[in-house]
Amino acid sequence: MNVKVTANPAGELPGSVLGAPIRIPSVLLCTNGENWCGRVWVANHRRQLPERLAERRDHEARCRGGLVLSGR
């Protein structure tokens, strides 16, 4: 599925955007796991938003939700 992220849904065709608009500046938190790991991303400009969302997706793919694993 191809996902398009926009901070300006009014500029898109009717019916092509679902959800609420993302406000700028935007604070993104890691949403992986039951325990928050503490990771935060901030997009201060609309051009930063796709980059920060991609960074968050990459982080969430390997995040353990704040768990600390012991080598024992």
The domain locations on the chain are 22-62
Query: Are 60 and 32 a contacting pair, CB within 8 Å?
Result: yes
29/65: higher pLDDT: 29
Overall average pLDDT of the 38-67 stretch: 88
Alpha carbon 61 to its chain's center: 12
DSSP 8-state secondary structure symbol assigned to residue 1:
-
Distance separating alpha carbons of residues 18 and 12, to the nearest angstrom: 11
Of 33, 30, 35, nearest to 58 by C-alpha is 30
- pTM more than 0.85: no
Distance separating alpha carbons of residues 50 and 46, to the nearest angstrom: 8
Overall average pLDDT of the 50-64 stretch: 89
